Amino acid sequence: MAQNTDFGFDDDVRMLKESASRFFLEKETLTKLRPHITGTEDPHIGEVRAGWYATEDWQEMVELGWPIVAVPADAGGIGMGLVAAVALQEEIGRAASPTPLTGTLQATFVLREAQATSELQLIASGQSMALAIHGEDGSLELDSTDVTVSNGRLSGTSWYVQDAQKVDGYVVAAAAGNGIGLYHVPRDAVEVLPDRIVDLTRDQARVVLDNVEATEVAPPGEGETVLAQAMPALLTLLAADIVGAAEWQVQETAEYARVRTQFDRPIGFFQAVKHPIVNMMIAVDEARSLVYNAASAWDSDPDDALRTALLAQSSASDCASFCSNRSTQLHGGIGFTWESDVQIYHKRQMHSQFLYGDATWHREKLAALL
């Protein structure tokens, strides 16, 4: 099956992306976030940072239909593809928005692969979800869970759960004698223990389950297959977030280079400044092209979805590192200060860079396919 020549980026997706861009610009999410992270500059000192997000903005997103963009129509959703979800995720990254929409979009594609209509209907009703699929060892393989299932009840701890404090429920991977299964667990049935992380826009936590009753999404032995099928979508969504944040870094750095003067000239006049900014732009354009290529492959050429997703995420991971370093360096001393947004984006990008493995990890996986 051939991909769309325009990556499936039609008028509906374009309007969705433009409306999301306006929304985040008007909401000034980082301005709202700052009062809630003051005093947590060092994650290892003081109180654990709360997983704050603007609940009124989330409710408006629900009313706009963004969480159900990729939910199939027969489950009450809009039924659009990964390209539409990627367009939304890129704008989330550009705004560095602390929102449960990110986890909900990821959970949607896992639930779609599991054909879990009931859980998709929960998302369609306005509930948010996150994935809880990793064990303490930090392994990126799909069987690393420390949660076990017995008679439909889950026990154990799921580690490194993103935005765990923001969501209404979790899709949990749990091991049984015949393999990994997937289960839906509501937030009020578990204990959430926040981690200390550098990223100021996300929260991360351990989700502790103590003989918790759960709804089966995929039976033991099929959960790993479902996760493997959904992984190209998860990688592509994360890469889109990185691309959006990197685009902000390019634009903000270029603007700073126009207004900051040295030796009676804007610093953007000097090759030592202008050339790195151009290289940042090239890195973003490369990663964005690969991201939408991967999203289009998921929607129209599934046999090529994993290869294109690995390409997109490896490029985006490199882009996150390069653009963050150049943005901070070219802003000089102000880029390191608490008052600057540059350091917020830098920390978000470093967290994103390693969430599902860095560029080396994905290139190794890609090489194994060739």
Q: Where are the domains of the chain?
A: 224-369
What percent of the chain is predicted at pLDDT more than 70?
Answer: 99
Grouping H, G, I as helix, E, B as strand and the rest as coil, residue 28 is coil
Residue 24 predicted with pLDDT over 60: yes
Query: What is the structure's pLDDT at 97?
Result: 95
* pLDDT (average), residues 123-139: 95
Query: What is the structure's pLDDT at 313?
Result: 97
How many angstroms separate the CA atoms of 164 and 156, rounded? 16
pTM for the structure as a whole: 0.96
* pLDDT (average), residues 216-227: 96
Residue 147's contacts (CB-CB under 8 Å, 6 or more residues apart) are 132, 154, 155, 156, 157, 158, 172, 173, 174, 175, 209
Q: At what angle do helices 305-330 and 271-300 cross, to 10 degrees?
A: 160
* pLDDT (average), residues 215-226: 96
How many angstroms separate the CA atoms of 366 and 329, rounded? 32
Q: How confident is the model at residue 36 (pLDDT cuts 50, 70, 90)?
A: confident
Query: What is the structure's pLDDT at 3?
Result: 65
Tokens representing residue 314 in the block: 């490896």
Q: At what angle do helices 223-259 and 271-300 cross, to 10 degrees?
A: 150
The answer to whether residues 160 and 138 touch, using CB atoms and an 8 Å cutoff, is: yes
Per this entry, what is the length of the chain?
370
* pLDDT (average), residues 341-350: 95
* pLDDT (average), residues 344-361: 94
Q: What is the mean pLDDT of the chain?
A: 93
CATH number belonging to domain 224-369: 1.20.140.10
Residue 111 predicted with pLDDT over 70: yes
CA 122 to chain centre: 21
Query: What is the structure's pLDDT at 126?
Result: 95
The answer to whether residues 194 and 40 touch, using CB atoms and an 8 Å cutoff, is: no
